[in-house]
Structure 1
């Protein structure tokens, strides 16, 4: 319970700082505003062969992408940066520091991801609300889908962030994340992809996250374009829960192994390399 209390307290402090920092808010909210602009210009278009709004069909995918990026990209980027500036080393030096650090990251990134989700959801429903009708069971599903989606993706982001020491190598993190999102069916029907690629996509939580978001907001008639022509709620819960359990079991162990290699001299050496690079 001590690491849990310390992690929640740490995350709460970072979350308050983020909510009062203009640059941090811009980093989180600007992409959400861009995506809302996309929905606005698509609101009068229609899904080919139907009278259903293209903007309405795109909104669940945008919400799913925001959740996936929050758990994968934000966590990995913050971990790389805080490894270089010594934050991770200070966490290692305190009792239960790595566990509380990971819990704190879950609180702050999860909180800001939820804020971004609401900023996209509420105006998005106003823009294309006539095409979306969420039932009571849909809201209940959303209540377990959002936290489970974040818990299934955040540990993956933490593992990816632990691999790289240099923030200038973040492109190596972003590329595989974009690759997984590209084949997940979030923006393009997975049924149009080759069979082997469909199988690869279903191994990762991003496909199931997008499928779950579509099942909440879209009418059942649009399930015809999905694999098996159904929303597959049980499979969605099972795969996301599997990744959440696996990730939460492995991520702290991987981070502790990575933290054992951290030292004051290693942090100082990385800073010297960064200064030398900027001076060229």
Structure 2
């Protein structure tokens, strides 16, 4: 096997090990359950709240939207991991081995994707028992959910790698949360986007969260629910187009930014960041 193939195989194994460890570590286990349980509570409270005269409960409309939101948030998880492991020297160690960065990224993709699928299952399985009206009895619904999720991961994980390369320390990641929360607020996750001002609808349609939520709704909601969407259409072709643009953008930028970041990493930089972190703790 070639050195690159060996590195990629090692990255795959590393990703599976990290994923398994995340379910045996108390802090990681809490993170896996916290947001799904919180969203389930919100879903329970909204299960009997109707959206206007549409005949649909907000809980029913919200469940697939939250799935799409969580899929898009994989980019935040990727970004935070890259920033944290850049700060503690993990990336420097990966850089020091042949094709180490390629293996490292494969490992992160495996662990982040696997963790996301587990989080979605933790939310979805109880959610199906809480809200009625979902089209979960057909193979087409689950097939659509699967390809939308796969497309969403391909579109968002490279962007997460870019963001993780831009931020130099974990504290700076906090700057990313406010715009992300704002993006979620206008993307029709917790309330149909057609009830929001038109200018916010146009902004939301530029980003992956709206399209991933729409794709999940097209998979799990009955056809009649399309009446509350923009243009009364699931717009799957447009969704593929927008997420495709984000995929191309991420795949073009991520290798450039990651190579530049790796070249700048050194033992002295890691030691300097560690010293600053110890001073903050002290």
TM-score range, shorter chain: over 0.9
> Which stretch has the larger CA shift, 8-17 or 179-188?
179-188
Is 1:66–1:117's contact at 8 Å kept on the other side of the alignment?
A: yes
User: Please, what TM-score do these two structures have when normalized by structure 2?
Assistant: 0.92
State the shift of 1:52 in Å.
2.1
2:222 matched to which residue of 1?
A: 219
2:59 is aligned with 1:51: no
| Residues 63, 213 of structure 1: 8 Å contact kept | yes
Find the aligned partners of 2:179 and 2:101 in 1 and give their Cα distance. Answer: 26
Counterpart CA distance in 2 for 1:43 and 1:199 is 28
* 1:133 counterpart residue number: 135
Given the alignment of the two structures, is residue 8 of structure 1 paired with residue 15 of structure 2, yes or no? no
Q: CA offset at residue 194 of structure 1? A: 4.1
Give a deviation string over 1:136-176, Cα, whole Å, max 9, x none: 32211112111111121111111111111121222112122
Q: How many angstroms does 1:19 deviate by?
A: 1.8
| 1:24 corresponding residue in structure 2 | 28
Question: Counterpart of 2:119?
Answer: 116
* Aligned alpha-carbon RMSD (Å): 1.7
**Cα distance in 2, alignment partners of residues 183 and 37 from structure 1:** 21
Q: What are the superposed Cα offsets for residues 223-251 of structure 1, whole Å, 9 maximum, x if unpaired?
A: 12222210011222232233223313321
**Any conservation in 1 of the 2:141–2:220 contact (CA below 8 Å)?**
yes
Aligned residues: 277
TM-score (ref. length: structure 1): 0.93
**Residues 180 and 105 from structure 1, CA distance in 2 versus in 1: closer, same or farther, beyond 3 angstroms?**
same
Aligned 8 A contact 1:98 1:252 in 2: no
Match of 1:143 in 2: 146
**Which stretches in structure 1 are left out of the alignment for 5+ residues?**
none
